């Protein structure tokens, strides 16, 4: 039988920086604009994930990660300008994702920062897109770099960040079950982690 991934094993699966239910910091605060709430949280998820990915860049190389893997039989593809699905090395793929997200966060017409400026009508669908791509980055790190995270003693931190991300995605319907589970022939590794955490009751809901 294939070996169970480290992140699903004890004690790592329970490791957490933030104990308890994420509901309290995920929920929309009363009277607050939902767009602002989602925007600032996506901004923070991006910043925090970027920070951790920055730690792992020397392990996530063209040689070590020739594909954007997230499970034993799952490699994500990038859609290029010609609308073709292409396989990219993980560092290239992630670089594209992070640059793309950064550009949007910096774009005042997508994430407005001036006072009195409204969010565009397309904002909810943009955020869903961003969420989906960030989920892939998380999925790759769990699948390919979890041992390094353990060596660096960062698993409580990274677990909490991901659990928070999942709880937030569930609360605001950004998370698609098919994205986190994958298909039966090529399941997403972290799909099982999501199930485990749901069972442990840390994802709120």
Partner 1 sequence: TPGGSKPNDYIYFDRSTAGFSDEVLPRAKAAQMKLEHYYKVAVDAAIERNTRRVELERRLQVDQTMSDDRKQRQLQQLGKKESTFLRLRRTRLGLSDFRTVKVIGKGAFGEVRLVQKTDNGKVYAMKLLNKEAMLQKDQLAHVRAERDVLAESVSDWIVQLYYSFQDPVYLYLVMEFLPGGDLMTMLIKYDTFSEDVTRFYMAECVLAIDAVHQLGFIHRDIKPDNILIDKDGHVKLSDFGLSTGFHKQHDSNYYQRLFESATGQSPANAAQASRNSVMVNPINLTMTNEQIQTWKANRRKLAYSTVGTPDYIAPEIFQQKGYGKECDWWSLGAIAFECLVGYPPFCSESTHDTYQKIMQWQYHLAFPDDVHLSRQAEDLVRRLITSADRRMNVPEIKKHPFFYGVDWATLRSIDAPFVPHLRSLTDTSYFPVNELEQVPEEVPAVAGDAAKDLAFLGYTFKRFSISSHAF
DSSP E strands, the chain: 68-71, 74-76, 78-79, 85-86
Element (H or E) spanning 139, and its range?
helix 123-151
Element (H or E) spanning 34, and its range?
helix 34-56
Q: How far is the CB of 147 from partner 1 (least distance, A)?
A: 8
Query: Which of these, 11, 10, 6, 42, lies nearest to 142 by C-alpha position?
Result: 6
Q: How far is the CB of 4 from partner 1 (least distance, A)?
A: 6
Among 2, 24, 83, 178, interactor with partner 1 by CB under 8 A: 24
Q: How far apart are CA 136 and CA 69, in angstroms?
A: 9
**Which residues in 59-87 are b (16+ Cβ under 10 Å) and which e?**
bbeeeebebbbbbeebbbebeeeeeeeee
Q: For partner 1, which stretch binds (CB under 8 A), given 61-69, 75-83, 108-116, 171-179?
A: 108-116
Q: How far is the CB of 106 from partner 1 (least distance, A)?
A: 8
Among 54, 64, 102, 201, interactor with partner 1 by CB under 8 A: 54
Site for partner 1 in 57-76 (CB under 8 A): 58
Site for partner 1 in 129-158 (CB under 8 A): 150-154, 157
CB nearer partner 1, residue 20 or residue 201: 20
146 — alpha (psi -120 to 50), left (phi > 0) or beta? alpha
CB nearer partner 1, residue 161 or residue 180: 161
Binding site for partner 1 (CB under 8 A): 4, 6, 8-12, 17-18, 24-25, 29-33, 36-37, 39-40, 43-44, 48, 51-52, 54-55, 58, 105, 111-115, 150-154, 157, 160-161
């Amino acid at each position: 039988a294939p070996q169970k991934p480290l992140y699903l094993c004890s004690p790592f699966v329970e490791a957490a920086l933030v104990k308890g239910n994420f509901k309290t910091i995920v929920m929309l605060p009363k009277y607050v604009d939902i767009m602002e709430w989602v925007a600032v949280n996506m901004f923070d998820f991006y910043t925090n994930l970027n920070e951790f990915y920055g730690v792992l860049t020397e392990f996530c190389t063209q040689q070590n990660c020739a594909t954007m893997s997230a499970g034993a039989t799952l490699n994500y593809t990038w859609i290029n300008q010609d609308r073709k699905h292409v396989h990219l090395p993980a560092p290239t793929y992630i670089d594209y994702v992070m640059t793309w997200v950064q550009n949007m966060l910096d774009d005042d017409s997508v994430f407005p920062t001036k006072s009195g400026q409204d969010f565009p009508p397309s904002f909810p669908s943009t955020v869903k897109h961003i969420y989906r791509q960030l989920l892939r980055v998380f999925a790759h790190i769990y699948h390919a770099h979890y041992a390094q995270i353990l060596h660096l003693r960062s698993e409580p931190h990274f677990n909490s960040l991901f659990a928070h991300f999942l709880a937030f995605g569930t609360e605001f319907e950004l998370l698609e079950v098919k994205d986190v589970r994958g298909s039966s022939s090529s399941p997403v590794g972290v799909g099982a982690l999501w199930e485990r955490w749901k069972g442990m009751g840390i994802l709120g809901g």
